[in-house]
């Protein structure tokens, strides 16, 4: 039963008081309430503005906020995440770390921080794809970034973010070209820009000098020009090609309009204003003495396009091409092309992105603990130094630099990993190309002098299938190096579940510890023999991760306590 609440006021209901002290307190409360409401509204406005800036990739604006600016706001936790992400995108990693840590203190969950961090990584991958001219992959990465962050309508935001990132990439390229250039040799030095009658023309800028691009076509189809509009219509799936050449032909231009210096790096960007029909495709055709010797293309993103390419060493001229299909219109006033010849060495632009990633990794280093790689790599490279295998297969590479290090030693190295199924996200190994292949049902069929499987087998539940597959990929008298958690007498299905395990409880994969019975089974089933085995004591407990870590680890004999083994097998003849 509900109890009647007594009126807390000392005055009967409906009675007014004229006591100055009471009236003053009431007035103060009213002022405080109004001020609080104003502060809430101001905080909401800041949040709305910051969210929009994150959605549109306006990092420079976001980083203008400090932690002190955010501290009094009720949405400070999420705002700290957004500002931290902006600092991360601008390579201000210490500032990013400060904002992320404060976001956790203010109430953000680990999952929220992880989503923003993954979104930042996807944005970086999108820029890398744009740099390589792969607009489709760039769109996939940016869509993933917006999806995982969950901070807006991906369908509405994606087109805008693509435009923003493409524009930022163009600006950065020009800045790097200007800052690192020693001298500029005009493109026209290779020849003269030609002019001739054309179906239509539009602006083409080459190294800051403006020309009128003369487009012709020898394609079948209907087209007509009316003022600054080109209307076109094609039959079924047969496209029309327009090129800046006298004959309008892709292969036999008669005269290609623009000169080209062979072996140089160029960037072409611009905008094509098309309505109706299919999405246009922009082509670059390279010629030598009037014969086509190379071509490349790009698909505009909402009209905007950007492509970096290196001209064929023998090329002396080029034509810009436009491929149209369906029925539509080109607005010639708004269609523009810009060609820049880079004064940078060929690898500089791509290398700048690698340098940025390396710098990010360097600046974000945080010591956690030592791992077993020093012991494992020492064992492996001692094998390479003794037997000098010519062909090596590395199984379960992940993101490590191991294949790169082995390749630096001379052998030919193939690296594989089950990228799509094992990893939560598609991995990118910046050290070496990794083939997507599952060793338990391998598609690869080559024979290798050495197969390496370093701290990988313990994560494969169907371990017998993996060992069988690896033995099948070994050449006659081939070698196999494997390392994994080990206990001479006891198999453990997942060491992270053992009492006293130091880490790994939240891991989404298992870590098994194998025993002598497992090794004997592989020897008898798969035609292997042991050439060498090492035992290492890494932990105070009996199994891997149990107890305190022993640094440096101790190499011991078979009968002593140990938790890790390094094995060298040979395939029996």
DSSP structure string for 370-436: --SHHHHHHHHHHHHHHH--SEEEEES-TT-SHHHHHHHTS-EEEEEE-HHHHSSS----SSS-EEE
Mean of the pLDDT values across residues 18-36?
50
Q: How far does Cα 29 stand from its chain's mean position? A: 53
Say yes or no: 417 and 552 in one domain. yes
If we measure between CA atoms, which residue out of 197, 239, 203 comes closest to residue 222?
239
Mean of the pLDDT values across residues 341-362?
62
Say yes or no: 330 and 378 in one domain. no
- The token pair at 104 is 């956790």
- Domain assignment of residue 186, yes or no: no
Name the packing angle between helices 154-180 and 348-363 (round to 10°): 110
Say yes or no: 410 and 554 in one domain. yes
- Domain assignment of residue 339, yes or no: yes
Q: Does 390 or 300 have the greater pLDDT score?
A: 390
Say yes or no: 335 and 406 in one domain. no
Q: Does 31 or 4 have the greater pLDDT score?
A: 31
Say yes or no: 162 and 79 in one domain. yes
What pLDDT score does 47 carry? 82
Q: Looking at mean pLDDT, say which of 418-432, 496-510, 532-546 comes out highest.
A: 532-546
Distance from C-alpha of 309 to C-alpha of 269, rounded to nearest angstrom: 11
- Domain assignment of residue 514, yes or no: yes
Of 346, 381, 408, which closes a domain?
346
Contacts of 404 (CB under 8 A, 6+ apart): 431, 432
- Domain assignment of residue 356, yes or no: no
Distance from C-alpha of 498 to C-alpha of 541, rounded to nearest angstrom: 11
- Which CATH number goes with the domain that contains 298? 2.60.120
Say yes or no: 283 and 159 in one domain. no
Of 190-204, 249-263, 338-352, 407-421, minimum mean pLDDT range: 338-352
Q: Which residues of 83-100 are buried (b: 16+ CB within 10 A; e: fewer)?
A: bbbbbbbeebbebbbbbb
- The token pair at 78 is 């999420």
- Determine the structural domain holding residue 285 and report its residue range: 200-346
The secondary structure of 145-213 as a DSSP string is: HHHHHT-S-HHHHHHHHHHHHHHHHHHHHHHHHHHH-S----GGGGS-------SEEEEEEETTEEEEE
The distance in angstroms from the start CA to the end CA of the chain is 90
Say yes or no: 440 and 560 in one domain. yes
Contacts of 31 (CB under 8 A, 6+ apart): none
Backbone angles phi, psi at 520, to 5 degrees: -60, -40
Say yes or no: 73 and 135 in one domain. yes
- Which CATH number goes with the domain that contains 471? 3.40.50.150
What pLDDT score does 264 carry? 82
- Domain assignment of residue 319, yes or no: yes
- Domain assignment of residue 21, yes or no: no
Distance from C-alpha of 537 to C-alpha of 539, rounded to nearest angstrom: 6
Whether the pLDDT of residue 351 is over 90: the answer is no
Report whether 528 contacts 471 (CB < 8 A).
yes
Percent of the chain predicted with pLDDT > 70 = 82
Whether the pLDDT of residue 79 is over 70: the answer is yes
Total number of domains in the chain: 3
Q: 353 pLDDT band (50/70/90 cuts)? A: low
What pLDDT score does 329 carry? 92
Say yes or no: 248 and 323 in one domain. yes
What pLDDT score does 444 carry? 92
Q: Does 523 or 334 have the greater pLDDT score?
A: 523
- Domain assignment of residue 71, yes or no: yes
Say yes or no: 552 and 478 in one domain. yes
Q: Does 201 or 351 have the greater pLDDT score?
A: 201
- The token pair at 64 is 């203008």
What single-letter DSSP state applies at residue 496?
G
- Which CATH number goes with the domain that contains 148? 1.25.40
Say yes or no: 386 and 330 in one domain. no
Report whether 380 contacts 481 (CB < 8 A).
yes
pTM of whole model > 0.75?
Answer: no
Whether the pLDDT of residue 442 is over 90: the answer is yes
Q: Does 394 or 180 have the greater pLDDT score?
A: 394
Whether the pLDDT of residue 428 is over 50: the answer is yes
Say yes or no: 391 and 511 in one domain. yes
Mean of the pLDDT values across residues 230-258?
87
Q: What is the dihedral of CA 352, 358, 362, 364, to 10 degrees?
A: 100
What pLDDT score does 13 carry? 42
What pLDDT score does 21 carry? 53
- Domain assignment of residue 223, yes or no: yes
Of 166, 186, 211, which closes a domain?
166
User: What pLDDT, in 10s, does the model give residues 114-161?
Assistant: 888 888 888 878 777 776 666 677 788 888 888 878 877 777 777 777
Of 119, 151, 166, which closes a domain?
166
Residue carrying structure tokens 């939560």: 424
């Amino acid at each position: 039963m509900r109890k009647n609440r007594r009126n807390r006021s000392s005055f009967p209901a409906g009675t007014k008081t004229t006591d100055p002290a009471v009236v003053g307190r009431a007035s103060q409360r009213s002022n405080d309430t109004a001020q609080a409401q104003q502060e809430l509204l101001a905080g909401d406005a800041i949040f709305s503005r910051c969210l929009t800036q994150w959605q549109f990739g306006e990092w420079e604006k976001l980083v203008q906020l400090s932690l002190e600016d955010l501290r009094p706001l009720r949405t400070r936790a999420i705002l700290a995440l957004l500002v931290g992400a902006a600092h991360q995108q601008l390579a201000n990693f210490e500032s990013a770390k400060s904002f992320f840590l404060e976001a956790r203190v203010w109430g953000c969950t680990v999952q929220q921080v992880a989503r923003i961090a993954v979104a930042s990584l996807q944005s970086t991958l999108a820029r890398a794809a744009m740099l390589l001219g792969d607009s489709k992959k760039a769109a996939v990465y940016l869509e993933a970034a917006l999806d995982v962050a969950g901070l807006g309508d991906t369908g509405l935001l994606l087109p805008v973010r693509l435009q923003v990132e493409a524009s930022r990439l163009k600006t950065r390229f020009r800045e790097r070209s200007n800052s690192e250039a020693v001298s500029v040799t005009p493109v026209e030095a290779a020849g003269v820009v030609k002019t001739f009658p054309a179906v239509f023309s539009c602006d083409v800028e080459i190294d800051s000098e403006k020309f009128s691009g003369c487009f012709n076509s020898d394609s079948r189809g209907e087209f007509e020009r009316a003022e600054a509009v080109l209307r076109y219509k094609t039959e079924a799936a047969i496209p029309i090609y327009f090129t800046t050449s006298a004959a309008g032909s892709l292969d036999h231009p008669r005269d290609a309009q623009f000169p080209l210096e062979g072996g140089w790096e160029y960037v072409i960007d611009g905008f094509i204003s098309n309505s109706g029909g299919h999405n246009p495709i922009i082509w670059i055709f390279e010629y030598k003495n009037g014969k086509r010797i190379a071509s490349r293309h790009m698909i505009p993103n909402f009209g905007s396009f950007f492509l970096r390419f290196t001209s064929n060493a023998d090329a002396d001229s080029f034509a810009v091409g436009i491929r149209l299909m369906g029925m539509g219109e080109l607005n010639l006033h708004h269609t523009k092309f810009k060609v820049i010849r880079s004064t940078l060495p060929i690898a500089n632009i791509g290398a700048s992105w690698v340098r940025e990633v390396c710098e990010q990794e360097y600046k974000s280093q945080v010591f956690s603990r030592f791992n077993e790689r020093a012991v494992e790599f020492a064992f492996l490279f001692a094998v390479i130094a003794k037997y000098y295998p010519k062909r090596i297969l590395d199984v379960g590479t992940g993101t490590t630099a191991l294949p790169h290090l082995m390749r630096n030693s001379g052998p030919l190295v193939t690296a594989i990993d089950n990228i799509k199924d094992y990893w939560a996200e598609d991995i990118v190994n910046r050290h070496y190309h990794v083939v997507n292949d599952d060793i338990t049902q391998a598609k690869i069929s080559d024979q290798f002098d050495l197969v390496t499987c370093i701290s990988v087998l313990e994560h494969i539940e169907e371990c017998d299938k993996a060992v069988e597959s690896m033995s099948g990929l070994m050449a006659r008298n081939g070698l196999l190096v494997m390392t994994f958690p080990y206990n001479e007498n006891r198999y453990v299905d997942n060491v992270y579940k053992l009492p006293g395990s130091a880490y790994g409880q939240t891991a989404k994969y298992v870590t098994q510890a194998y025993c002598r019975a497992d090794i004997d089974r592989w020897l008898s089933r798969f035609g292997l023999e042991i050439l060498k085995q090492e035992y290492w004591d890494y932990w105070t407990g009996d199994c891997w991760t149990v107890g305190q870590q022993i640094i440096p680890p101790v190499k011991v004999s078979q009968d002593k306590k140990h938790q890790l083994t390094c094995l060298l097998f040979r395939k029996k003849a």
